[in-house]
Amino acid sequence: MKHAFRLNPDKLVRPKQWPSLLGWHLNIFAGAALAFNHRASVELPPWTVIGHFTRDNILSPPLHT
Write out pLDDT tens, residues 24-64: 888 888 889 999 999 999 999 988 898 888 887 776 666 67
How far is residue 15's CA from residue 4's CA, in Å, rounded to a whole number? 23
Residue 21: the pLDDT is 80
With 0.75 as the threshold, say if the pTM is over it.
no
pLDDT of res. 52: 87
pLDDT at 39: 92
| Start-end of H helices in 1-65 | 21-40, 46-53
